[in-house]
Amino acid sequence: MCGIAGILDLTGRCDGVELRALAEAQNATLVHRGPDAGEVWTDPEAGVTFAHRRLSIIDLSPAGAQPMASSCGRFVIVYNGEAYNTEELRAELLAAGRTFRGHSDTEVIVEGCAVWGVRGALDRLNGMFAFAVWDRNDRVLFLARDRLGIKPLYWARTPRTFLFGSELKALLALPDCPRSIDRGAVVAFLRHAYVPAPGTIFDGVRKLPPGCLLTVPWRGEPREDAFWDLDAVATEARADPFAGTEGEGVAALDGMLRDAVKRQMVSDVPLGVFLSGGIDSSTVTALMQAQADRPVRSFSIGFAEAGYDESKHAAAVARYLGTDHTELTVTPAEARDLIPTLPDVYDEPFADSSQIPTLLLSRLTREHVTVALSGDGGDELFAGYSRHVAAQTFGDWMARTPRPMRSATAAAVKALPRGVWDTLFKLVPASRRPVHPGERIHKFADVLPEDAGGYYRRLITHWWKAADMVPQADDPLGLAWDADTKRRFTRSLDWMQYVDTLTYLPDDILTKVDRASMAVSLETRVPLLDHRVVAFSWRLPADMKVRDGQGKWLLRQVLDRYVPKTLIDRPKMGFGVPVDDWLRGPLRDWAENLLSENSLRKTGLVDPIPVRQAWAEHLSGRRNRQHELWSVLMLQAWHGRWAGKLVGAAVPAMAVHPGG
């Protein structure tokens, strides 16, 4: 895992010394992504320079150093990620006459570009990656990002330069980086708690979407093409659905996941796994331990607040599997102490509050290992979110029930306060009782009058009228509002999973884990997102995903082969912290300062009136507005941290993020 950055001078005026200085400034912002080494490569004649920070994982020798040139000298690469099928590709390349100096996956990729072309190499890769390749013969720059968007890549084109980097701070280190806030991006952020790709918080800076190749001819216009397309995967799945028995489905998924996990256990440095005790992380841990010759290192954190603590479940799974388990119980004060650092870790606004425990878990894990496997992706692939279960379980009823009747049902449900619902659900067996049932039931009632599309959009939206809150902003309605996309799916479940996989997964879940882990120089790998597993999941019938009111049915059956149901069979908890209580208690003064009318007007991004109303409602206890308020708090905190880098601030030519 590494940090990459670079510049293409479009004016021909930068000499080698200046190019190197600019690249060194970029590299200085990415030390956390690669603390082991940092190098710069420059071609002054072409006006191109690459910067690389190295976290050594495979081939720790100098033969694995980057930037790296192909053996023929034509291609130069900087690369962030891991490829898991390098031995097969290396064998092909050796047969084609290529020579190798070491055994790094970087060398396999750059030699593959020389033999098969960049697109041909991408089609063959199994892994997570973001890389830049410079073709010295044709003077073309290529940027690529992996199929699911596990690794990040930002870019910008100005009249003078083309810039790219693993994180926004690597672009902000340069005087040419656009710094004007995109108000439409603020709207999108308030709606989703993240800025959706391909946009960023800055007008003129973009994220490369997952599965895309960006081609930048020297002094030409960038062209973006998809080398992997979820549309094509879904279309092929409809043409060739899985027709096997349930037993055959379990065996097929088990074999596929075992292979994915085994490939991702290859490392020249210590390796472990995040273990929450839930289905996804327990599956990955079980498959690791089943294929390991010694106890796997597993890691979890616990919280004093019972409603947010899964540590005892993780410990039980670890004991059964025989892992070498490390657990840290975090005090509320320790968790809250991280909040001021969040704008440095996520250098555009980001407001998934599970960023806090993710950062704590990453920090704990990095004290012991350099690589950790994670269970992310299971919900998106196998229908694990409550919205997926509801769509499959209640979708037909919602479709045939008139809206007035659904509205009346919703009103009846909400007539009972949340606390009453919490009390009633104590009669439900603990293994089937959801966490915070009153909150969940009221949230479901809020969206019950909607059709399937409206129901989903309500559930994924924080501020419903976000566009009204941002002065002089366009409303960039996203994929979930696209009617053509919705019409391509006959099942609401498929449509929801499709949108989640293209939006929430890369822009929230994977962004959260990448930034939190790389902030402490920890590489995370996600075997459930092997693209072969993704394709298989789309072939499955709906009842192999959702059954008996539970999601991830087929994945559960795989886990049952390794771990007793009694250790796993419980409601989904999530990975959060009690922000709602903290805002009424120990974080109240901090929040009041950021949410004051004066502070909101000074920042000038959000209308203070609805924010102040939500704040008053939350403090009174009438409604839990933590999600909406956390979004505004993270926006305000981000602006306060980065205000010196924005338009209107004096930016020195060698501006470098002081955190490194």
Query: Is 420 part of any domain?
Result: yes
pLDDT tens track for 285-336: 999 999 999 999 999 998 876 666 778 899 999 999 999 999 998 888 888 8
Helix axes 279-290, 311-321, angle to 10 degrees: 20
Report how far residue 116's alpha carbon sits from residue 111's, in angstroms, rounded to the nearest whole number: 9
Confidence of residue 89 (pLDDT cuts 50, 70, 90): very high
Q: Distance between CA atoms of 131 and 133, rounded to whole angstroms?
A: 7
Q: Which of 198, 228, 258 is the last residue of a domain?
A: 228
We report the CATH number of the domain holding residue 195 as: 3.60.20.10
Q: Is the domain of 343 the same as that of 315? A: yes
169-188 pLDDT, tens digit per residue, is 999 999 999 999 999 999 99
- For the four alpha carbons of 482, 488, 492 and 498, in that order, the dihedral sign comes to negative
CA atoms 486, 490, 493, 497: torsion sign: negative
Give the residue from 522, 538, 567 where a domain finishes.
567
The percentage of residues in the chain with a pLDDT greater than 70, rounded to a whole number, is 95
For the record, the structure tokens of 174 come out as 């340069």
At 71, which helix (H) or strand (E)?
Answer: none
Asked if the structure places residue 656 within a domain, the reply is no
User: Omega of the bond prior to 506 within 30 degrees of 0, cis?
Assistant: no
Element (DSSP H or E) covering residue 13? none
**Are 289 and 413 found together in one domain?**
no
In sequence order, the β-bridge partners of residue 284 are none
Distances (CA, A) of 16 to 21, 134, 217, 566: 9, 16, 20, 64
Res 544: pLDDT:
97
Task: For residues 598 and 592, give the distance between their C-alpha atoms in angstroms, rounded to a whole number.
Answer: 11
Query: Are residue 365 and residue 444 in the same domain, yes or no?
Result: no
Residue-number span of the structural domain to which 615 is assigned: 579-645
Burial label for 125, CB within 10 Å (0-12, 13-18, 19+), is: buried
Asked if residue 658 is part of any domain, the answer here is no
DSSP-assigned letter for residue 550? B
Residues 6+ apart with CB under 8 A from 339: 356, 587, 590, 637
Same domain membership, residue 113 and residue 62: yes
Pairing of strands 154-157, 140-145: unpaired
- Please tell me the distance from the alpha carbon of residue 42 to that of residue 49, in angstroms, as a whole number: 4
128, containing H or E segment: strand 127-135
| 476 and 616 housed in the same domain | no
Single-letter amino acid code for the residue at 615: W
Single out the residue in 228, 251, 266 at which a domain terminates: 228
Count of structural domains, the chain: 4
Helices (H) and strands (E) in the chain, counts: 30, 17
pLDDT at residue 242 above 90? yes
Give me 298's structure tokens.
């597993």
Query: Are both 549 and 612 inside the same structural domain?
Result: no
pLDDT at 59: 77
Q: Convert 296-309 to b/e letters by CB count within 10 Å (16 or more is b).
A: bbbbbbbbeeeebb
Strand partners, 157: 162
CATH number at residue 528: 3.40.50.620
User: Are 217 and 299 members of one domain?
Assistant: no
Per-residue confidence band for 41, with pLDDT thresholds at 50, 70 and 90: very high
C-beta neighbour count of 566 within 10 angstroms = 10
- Give 451's contacts (C-beta < 8 A, 6+ positions apart): 398, 399
Phi (first) and psi of residue 133, to 5 degrees: -125, 130
φ, ψ of residue 449 to 5 degrees: the values are -70, -15
Q: Is the pLDDT of residue 648 over 50?
A: no
Q: Are residues 468 and 511 in the same domain?
A: no
47-60 as b/e: b if 16+ CB within 10 A: bbbbbbbbbbbbbe
Neighbours of 567 (CB within 10 A): 17
Beta strands in 292-440 (DSSP E): 297-303, 324-330, 371-373
* Displacement of CA 344 from its chain's centroid (Å): 17
| pLDDT band, very low/low/confident/very high, at 652 (cuts 50, 70, 90) | very low
Residues 194 and 316 in one domain: no
Using DSSP's 3-state secondary structure scheme, residue 50 falls into strand
Under the banding of pLDDT at 50, 70 and 90, the label for residue 653 is very low
Q: Which residue has the tokens 């009249």?
A: 159
pLDDT tens string 325-364: 999 988 888 888 999 999 999 999 999 999 999 999 999 9
User: How far lies 298's CA from each of 37, 379, 555, in Å?
Assistant: 28, 21, 20
* 431 confidence band (pLDDT: 50, 70, 90): low
Beta strands in 188-258, from DSSP E residues, in sequence order: 205-207, 212-217, 223-226
On the CB side of 512, how many CA atoms lie within 13 Å of its CA? Answer: 23
In 3D, which of 10, 11, 41, 12 has the Cα closest to residue 26? 41
Counting beta carbons within 10 angstroms of the beta carbon of residue 223, is it exposed (0 to 12), middle (13 to 18) or buried (19 or more)? exposed
Query: Residue 623 has what pLDDT?
Result: 86
Whether 451 and 309 share a structural domain: no
pLDDT recorded at residue 574: 61
Whole-angstrom Cα distance, residue 124 to residue 458? 39
Q: Is the pLDDT of residue 218 over 90?
A: no
Report yes or no on 63 lying in a domain. Answer: yes
Structure tokens at 214: 């960006």
Phi and psi angles of residue 291, each rounded to the nearest 5 degrees, phi first: -115, 10
SS3 call for 78: strand
Beta strand segments in 580-657, E: none
What is the pLDDT averaged over residues 550-568?
96
Residue 448, H or E segment? none
CB atoms within 10 A of CB 184: 18
* Same domain assignment for residues 254 and 327: yes
- Residue 519 falls inside a structural domain: yes
Tell me which of 422 and 521 has the higher pLDDT: 521
303 domain-assigned: yes
Is 659 contained in some domain? Answer: no
Would residue 537 count as lying in a domain?
Answer: yes
Q: Tokens representing 551?
A: 């999601």
Contact by Cβ (8 Å): 275, 325: yes
Q: Is the pLDDT of residue 654 over 60?
A: no
257 and 164 in a common domain: no
